[in-house]
Chain A
Amino acid sequence: MSREEMDALAKERLVGIARGWYDQMRDGIVPFIRLPTRTKQNIAYDDATEVWKYGDKESTRSAATEKSAVHLLKMAYVIWFLKKQLVENRSSTLRELYYISEGWKKAKFAAQDESNLLIEDLEIIAEVQREAFHLRPEEDGASIFGPLRIRETTRRGVREMHCQEDVGEAGYPIPNNVDSLDFIEHDAKFVIAIETGGMYARLMENGFDEEYGAVLVHLKGQPARSTRRVLRKLNDSLGLPVVVFTDGDPWSYRIYASVAYGSIKSAHMSELLATPQAQFIGVQPSDISDYNLPSDKLTEQDVNALKAELTDPRFATDYWRNQIHLQLDMKMKSEQQAFASRGLDFVTKEYLPTRLSEMGVI
């Protein structure tokens, strides 16, 4: 879909929402919207797409109470603003939208969380992503480094670059709107998504990308939407296997889960954001003992998080159950950079190749 077509679709969908309310009011009906309930209880696994999506539970928000009426009024203002932005071919950040609402009197947002949630609601109702509204998050996406040539359509023209030859040490920064990104050619065998910047730099310095044909993707902690979309796109359109390399603690396993299965907040876009084929490479709890890694004691919160994961359907596999029980027994956690205790080359020469061949990736 071209940019113009996308803009036209977004505008049509937005105006369609307003038109629905217009017709309701004309017919003497208090205007309302219907939305899936956005909670953990209303998340279901979709066999066809292999991702977690919203279930059947819906809630209706009708302007019959002051609070709900104000919510709809805010939504009307946002739609009005987004339509104008699309017509004028401008764009804004989520934070800018929040500040723009300053002048909307009763429709003014109390906090940015409120405007962010409302935009997600609009994504769900309009069935397009916020990028189509010309809205972008302020956090930049993470970066890519590897044997891959890409083409990005920027405001100032089309740019082509190779993610090893044409970029600096930081790699190619992933743009907010992944739709403007195309992969032209590659010489890669797999994608490795890395939690920390330190490990990303280590792999780069050790030439891991060249030696194994790896595309390195820096997740920067819990990955932004654009980062998750790039991973999905690399997996989908290039058929590259994706492995996720994080620290060995419960919070890092959740980073893997959001890459592989999707998150609750953006379950309406799991199909675009999640990469069900993504595999977890480590640090596994068993690695901590196998490699005798330097480790820290689990805190109370860590233990609770692990126990919560035991009841999380996304971790309901024999592999995860064994690993989590193992970690609860040894009460230890390790960071991915703990491999440095066995030499700076150990992770690229020993650990990763061993794990990758175990997993059948190389």
Chain B
Amino acid sequence: MVLAEDLAKQQRSISVAEFFEKNKHLLGFDSPTRGIITTIKEAVDNALDACEEAEVLPDIFVGVKKVDAEVYRITVEDNGPGIVPENVPLVFGKLLYGSRFHQIRQSRGQQGIGISAAVLYAQLTTGTPALVTSRTGSKARAHRFELMIRTETNEPEVVSHEEIDWDRMHGTRIEIQFKSSLAAKKRLVDYLRLTAIVNPHARITADIDGEVTTFERVSSEVPPCPKSILPHPHGIEFGALKRIAAASTGTVEEFLVGSFSRVGKKTADEMIALAKLKPSRKVNKLESDELKRLLDAMQAVKVPAPPAQQCLSPIGEDLICRGLEKEIQLDFIKARTRPSTVHGGHSFIIEAAIGYGGRIPAEGNAQIFRFANRVPLLYQQGACAITNCVSQVNWKGYGLSQQGLPMGPALIMVHVASTNVPFTSESKDAVASIPEIEREVVLVLQELGRELKSYLSRRDKKKQQDDRARAICSIIPEIAAKVSEIVELPLVDTSPIEGKIMRKVVAKKRTNNGQVHIDVNNYTAREVTFVLYNLSRDAAADADPRPDFVDDIDGEYNKVWRCTLGAGAAWQVAYTGAGDGSLDLRGMEDGMKVVVDLDV
């Protein structure tokens, strides 16, 4: 009895701010190094969301500056619509304050925790307030706040507030100082690059301790802002149903039709009949067990999927490719956007891309880029359903080696866009394992795998053809020369072999004793007209026949000949020169020609 009373003295409510102060890792602030990335991520997410809502092309500045041995000042500035002065303290100084939590649509941030958690983290490590500047338009002046959070009550504390002049028309700037390190600088740059890839309409400029990088936009179209939709009857839980039912004044039927997406009168009646309720019953008068029956009926009746076009904003195949190609040099890229589907009443779309070759490192595992609602996922790759799906696919069948994950010079990008992305934790690092999502990811990767395979076999075929061309046009003539010498007979002519094997237009360049010879043989069955480009340091003044055109580019001469050759005919030119440089034959499809430079 006494003990219980003693204990009662200690029992009190905990503010959400206090809770997170003790559980920083839940929000991605587990280490000072990671703190920098999480803060920038939250601020950039907010900036991109705000710009999207205001339909402006995002222009975002990210700054990281060392102010003390261990203290860094993080600045993120955007050209979004700004925040009205009354709301600024709440947005930045109160956890769980936000505009998007109650909306059903695709957005980056949701709960309104992220940026205020960063403010909290700053005040924990350095005790300094966050500096927020915001302006809502040309008619208003900018407002500058110094903000802190009262952890015991989770309420903002305005340290100072003044109106100032700001050269930006509209936008928001936040500056936060906290203890950190730049150990994860590469990861930070990677994060910004990945963000630029999935937000091809954004320009992001980063100044990381004096090092400036700009990620230019590849698209000048603002993606349509996803509109929020009503909840889907399959995606609702008892608590939520009870809450909205209590707030509703109409009949059960009116309630079902008016508060849920994709529910018409017919569907509503079916649900009501199944729940054994009278359609005329007032919904706010329903008993708990009746509501339970209604919920079961809502889940049981077939309802079309939610209207995904409205509430989701996939990047699109073309922009994914352009975004990736801009940041990473690739030999092959293919992207797919799957049709929308549903998990637990929430719409989602899976997009994916596969890149190959170029600058991707050839050693080790393929690179995996994971995104959820246009936000890159940087941590816990191993715990993520996306990674799991990547290893489930049999990549050996698509021409990649594989040890769990695929290996070699490949990159795999997967984007999950959903009104509700199921994360494994609040730090939003990994997508939870949901069968509907996994199924879609595996399907899209298989689709892209087939594309990759067909690219690789085309490439191998081309390689084989080049190999053959080299053997026939360059080595066989040498064999012929040596063999003719051994048997003491006139040099055997190898052009019949060339013609028989190649059945193409063959252009050859070789240089002997300061004379450059270029031969073109038409081994095809029809007449061809070609343009021969020979770029080298040789002016070829004595060329016979004369080039039709010579272009002098900084000491390099691009010599161009135009010619029409009948089937089986040959053409040649010779001039005095050193012979290096390049040779190209145009005017016919790639498959018809073989260009061999015997000087290399």
Contact = CB atoms under 8 A, between A and B. Distances in A.
B497 A18 contact: no
Given A19-B487, A64-B472, A69 B479 contact: yes
Contact of B475 (A26, A28, A63): A63
- Secondary structure at the A interface, as helix, strand, loop or mixed, is helix
A29 interface: yes
B22 interface: no
B500 A73 contact: no
Interface stretch (B226-234, B299-307, B463-471, B555-563): B463-471
B164 interface: no
A30 B475 contact: no
Contact of A25 (B464, B485, B492): B492
A21 B483 contact: yes
Contacts of A310: none
B482 A30 contact: no
Interface string A28-50: 11110000000000000000000
Given A66-B470, A66-B471, A80-B486, A26 B476 contact: no
Contact of B494 (A25, A64, A66): A25
Contacts of B496: 27-28
B468 A70 contact: no
B470 A76 contact: no
A203 interface: no
A83 interface: yes
A65 interface: yes
Given A64-B468, A64-B501, A31 B476 contact: yes
A212 interface: no
B479 A80 contact: no
B485 A80 contact: yes
Interface residues of A, number: 30
Contacts of A68: 471
A360 to B, nearest CB: 54
Contacts of A29: 497
B472 A30 contact: yes
Given A29-B497, A30-B501, A80 B472 contact: no
A65 B486 contact: no
B486 A70 contact: no
A15 interface: yes
Interface of B: 464, 467-468, 470-472, 475-476, 478-480, 482-487, 489, 492-494, 496-497, 499-501
Given A66-B470, A69-B471, 17 more contacts: A18-B486, A19-B487, A21-B483, A25-B476, A28-B496, A30-B476, A31-B483, A63-B471, A64-B468, A66-B468, A66-B471, A68-B471, A69-B475, A73-B479, A73-B482, A79-B486, A80-B482
Nearest 6 CB-CB pairings of A with B? A28-B496, A69-B471, A69-B475, A18-B486, A76-B482, A66-B471
27 contacts: A15-B487, A25-B483, A25-B494, A26-B493, A27-B496, A28-B496, A28-B497, A28-B500, A30-B497, A31-B476, A31-B479, A31-B483, A64-B471, A65-B467, A65-B468, A66-B468, A66-B475, A69-B471, A70-B475, A72-B479, A73-B475, A73-B482, A76-B486, A80-B482, A80-B485, A106-B478, A107-B478
